[in-house]
Amino acid sequence: MEFPSPPAEVDSVSPSELRRRIDNGERVTLLDTRLPEAHEAWQISGDTVTTLNAPYPAFRGTDVDRDVLDGIPSDRLVTAVCAIGKSSEYVAGVLAERGYEVEHLVDGMEGWARIYDAVEVSRYDGPGRVWQYVRPSSGCLGYLVVDEGEAAVVDPLRAFATRYVTDAGERGAELSYAIDTHVHADHVSGVRRLAADGVEGVMPAPATDRGLAEPEELRLLSDDDTLRVGRVPVEAVHAPGHTSGMTALRVGGCLLLTGDGLFIESVARPDLEAGQETASAARRLHTSLCDLLALPGETLVCPGHRGETTDPASDGTYTARLDELRDRKMLSLSREAFVETLREDVPPRPANHEAIVATNLGQRHPDDAEAFELELGPNNCAAAPSDAD
């Protein structure tokens, strides 16, 4: 779509600067110029963020509806946001011409989706060092384990494949492994891209039952298999439920990468795998979670997604000790109550999840641009009930 030039010059803000303001607790007022359905499905959130929705078509023409203008604050800075930074720039110009203090977000939500931070998990007290990757736009978390010149990345994103190699190198290591905890339905995996560049790609062995293409090109990880990254053992713990092949990874004997099985504030949804009956999958998930809860209480849980209301721990990461999670509502339910709760309130499925799964199985081969477009939006891999109470 072609957009007209803004009628007045406006300032812009980069996604990283907007992220800094939100992290610092500054009051942020966003004006989303996308259509309501796009706005409702996926938006920038935060404790100090206020978001308004006034779609771009309302600002076309010589007269803008007074009700629309009256709904936009005139006493503070407003940041206009859209999909790619075009309609928001035009709307910001319309508002600037009318005396509003306004700016627009460069590259819009696509720019927001390219933010990817790495924070060291300093609460980890095993051998080597671990970093947590955070993608604010979707809540996706990944991990880099480094020790004695070797590195492994867990749940890598294709959009950031070269980043992992660079980060490992900056930490004096060579990236040896790229590992997925399961066949993801919400983002395009970077395992195959990294494998094509000489990194050993690793997938849970049960992925072959779902139609994993060219499995001989990957290392298949079975329950209790152990990889080593320098001195650090990385042990596979089969934990089905979210998917039949969901595999947690016990790192250094004291850190547990739970993938999409167990989150800090909730648990996985069990309905994203084709052919997997929700109730039976939920029962398997309950069993898997009980097994994980039997690990030592000081085990540091590092999930595959940050929840909507999860606050970071003291080291800035989205992690928690297993003992801190034992009393959470969902983890205290009987098996049947657990199953019924998951079935009662099922959230919307991740956008394009079928195409993403097929891509991650190696059955589809989108180019980088299409792959990035496929995964835009919220992840929706957690069950709807919050486990924070």
- The domain spanning residue 237 has which CATH number? 3.60.15.10
Spatial distance between the Cα atoms of 104 and 70, rounded to a whole number of angstroms? 19
Query: Of 51, 79, 112, which residue constitutes the final position of a domain?
Result: 112
pLDDT for position 1: 65
Q: 173 with 49, same domain? A: no
Question: What domain range includes position 279?
Answer: 117-374
Domain-located, residue 228:
yes
Spatial distance between the Cα atoms of 340 and 146, rounded to a whole number of angstroms? 41
pLDDT for position 386: 54
Domain-located, residue 289:
yes
pLDDT for position 115: 96
Domain-located, residue 385:
no
- The domain spanning residue 67 has which CATH number? 3.40.250.10
Spatial distance between the Cα atoms of 57 and 41, rounded to a whole number of angstroms? 19
Query: Of 112, 146, 172, which residue constitutes the final position of a domain?
Result: 112
Domain-located, residue 106:
yes
Domain-located, residue 53:
yes
Spatial distance between the Cα atoms of 58 and 53, rounded to a whole number of angstroms? 11
Query: How far is CA 43 from each of CA 30, 40, 324, rounded to the nearest angstrom?
Result: 10, 7, 30
Give the total number of structural domains in the chain. Answer: 2
pLDDT for position 182: 97
CA dihedral sign of residues 207, 209, 211, 217: positive
Q: 91 with 128, same domain? A: no
Would you give per-residue pLDDT tens digits along the chain (389 residues)? 678 889 999 999 999 999 999 989 999 999 999 999 999 989 998 889 999 999 999 998 778 888 899 999 999 999 999 999 999 999 999 999 999 999 999 999 999 999 999 999 999 999 999 999 999 999 999 999 999 999 999 999 999 999 999 999 999 999 999 999 999 999 999 999 999 999 999 999 999 999 999 999 999 999 999 999 999 999 999 999 999 999 999 999 999 999 999 999 999 899 888 888 999 999 999 999 999 999 999 999 999 999 876 789 999 999 999 999 998 989 999 999 999 999 887 777 877 899 999 999 999 999 999 999 999 877 677 775 555 44
pLDDT for position 388: 46
Spatial distance between the Cα atoms of 270 and 268, rounded to a whole number of angstroms? 6
Spatial distance between the Cα atoms of 203 and 5, rounded to a whole number of angstroms? 48
pLDDT for position 389: 43
